[in-house]
Amino acid sequence: MDEKTPAQRKPRREPDTKRAAILGAMFLMATSAIGPGFITQTTVFTVQLGAAFAFAILVSILVDIAVQLNVWRVIGVSGLRAQVLANKVLPGAGWVLAALVFVGGLVFNVGNVAGTGLGLNAMLGLDTWIGAAVSAVLAILIFLSKRAGLALDRIVVILGAVMILLMLYVAIIAGPPVGQALKNTVLPDQVDFLAITTLIGGTVGGYITYAGAHRMVDAGNSGIGNIRPITRAALLGVIVTGVMRALLFLAILGVVAGGAVLTSGNLAAEAFGVAAGEIGIRMFGVIFWAAALTSVIGASYTSVSFVTSPATSARVRNLLTVAFIAVCAAAYLLAGQPPQTLLVFAGAFNGLILPLGFAILLWVAWRRRDLLAGYRYPKWLLAAGALAWLLTLYLGWNSLAGLSALWQ
């Protein structure tokens, strides 16, 4: 019997630890996007637009795919974090990008911590301050663990799965008009560009853009040989986010289409209560808490990854992440509520981060093969990224307008 050549042999299955790290990176990206703002935005737009919101969800998913496939491939093939690549392209640009991500992540994380308190309040009736403090301690314990990386990967996967399953249940019992939603996915009754741009900014803006890709590189899964799992993880991460958005949309749509008029200050919680009664409120609490906690983890991990280097020891990096979470929790507990002006300011910062950082990565893909180990970048992927980047410029322009308004 002729012995097969190495090229003819079936590739060995990825080791369990490698698969777990890639899965964790994928869910870190997805759950970082699924935060309190994600749930609030989706609910508000569903109430305003009804079934027509389905089209905005589809467009945002397509743009998210174009962005994340490029981000993950450039960072994954190079094995370098975004700020390192930026400094190699234009000295100093990496520090500017790092500052934007860190400041935006720090302030936004105050809102994420507040979200954990609101979630535990809806879930268990716990005081929001106590809930936020308990959640912050839990997030800190994850990074103090001796195997923090493994704990991080498992926690985001478990909480991500819990959110999807609970949301699926509520979406089913809400009885949404699925046929009407499917029709509006391709033939919308109306097109709302504000909704589309808001969704894009909320799912691939700021630190979220780099959350999964940085985790993947830190776990040692980089290089040309890892292109397939890198691409698969990036694609699935966006799909997980899209599925969660679609299920939440269907749940709220079912309630609204059933004739319910939502008028409270917390539309999502009210909708869940209408759909499933008291248990619906508790489920909303679980989903909201899980969304907020995973966003705390994602924002903290990614923000710190921008102010450390691969040479930084895992212990130092984890201690810095713990300090980051503690500062955000203290800011919320002392203020009593997230400072709204700062949150708007952070949102505007996130709008600036996407076009700046993404432009640098696309330049690396187009002109800096030396940073990609000679890898020939797919032209179709680069073209899709360029089209998505043009849209990010519009988001960035809106962010500048927002910053200007804050200064007046």
DSSP, residue by residue, 332-346: HHHHSS--HHHHHHH
Question: How would you write the pLDDT of the chain (408 residues) with one tens digit per residue?
Answer: 444 443 444 444 455 667 777 888 899 999 888 888 888 889 989 999 999 999 999 999 999 999 999 999 999 999 999 999 999 999 999 999 999 899 889 988 998 999 999 999 999 999 999 999 999 999 999 999 888 888 888 899 999 999 999 999 999 999 999 999 999 999 999 988 888 888 888 888 888 999 999 998 988 888 999 999 999 999 999 999 999 999 999 999 999 998 888 887 788 889 999 998 999 999 999 999 999 999 999 999 999 999 998 788 989 999 999 999 999 999 998 887 776 666 666 666 677 788 889 999 999 999 999 999 999 999 999 999 999 999 888 877 876 766 666 566
Distance between CA atoms of residues 345 and 408, nearest Å? 13
Distance between CA atoms of residues 274 and 267, nearest Å? 11
Q: What are the tokens at 92?
A: 């100093």
Distance between CA atoms of residues 187 and 179, nearest Å? 12
Residue 96: inside a domain, yes or no? yes
Neighbours of 39 (CB within 10 A): 27
Quote the pLDDT of residue 371. Answer: 95
Distance between CA atoms of residues 116 and 136, nearest Å? 8
Residue 165: inside a domain, yes or no? yes
pTM over 0.85: yes
Q: What are the tokens at 66?
A: 């174009």
Which of 83, 74, 44, 24 is closest to 240 using CA atoms? Answer: 24
Residue 80: inside a domain, yes or no? yes
| Total number of domains constituting the chain | 1
Quote the pLDDT of residue 232. Answer: 92
Quote the pLDDT of residue 201. Answer: 81
> 69 by DSSP, 3-state: which?
helix
Which of 98, 128, 28 is closest to 336 using CA atoms? Answer: 128
Residue 141: inside a domain, yes or no? yes
Residue 407: inside a domain, yes or no? no
For residue 310, give the H/E element and its range. Answer: none
First to last CA, the chain: 80
Residue 289: inside a domain, yes or no? yes
Which of 214, 216, 207, 212 is closest to 111 using CA atoms? Answer: 207
CATH code of the domain in which 180 resides: 1.20.1740.10
Residue 163: inside a domain, yes or no? yes
Instruction: Name the residue range of residue 55's domain.
Output: 16-400
Quote the pLDDT of residue 6. Answer: 39
Contact 28, 211 (CB under 8 A): yes
Residue 11: inside a domain, yes or no? no
Contact 155, 345 (CB under 8 A): no
Quote the pLDDT of residue 13. Answer: 47
Distance between CA atoms of residues 58 and 321, nearest Å? 34
In angstroms, how far is CA 261 from the centroid of its own chain?
30
Instruction: Quote the crossing angle between the two packed helices 267-305 and 36-49, to the nearest 10°.
Output: 140
Quote the pLDDT of residue 341. Answer: 62
Q: What are the tokens at 90?
A: 């234009």
Distance between CA atoms of residues 103 and 303, nearest Å? 8
Contact 123, 285 (CB under 8 A): yes
Beta strands in 105-255 (DSSP E): none
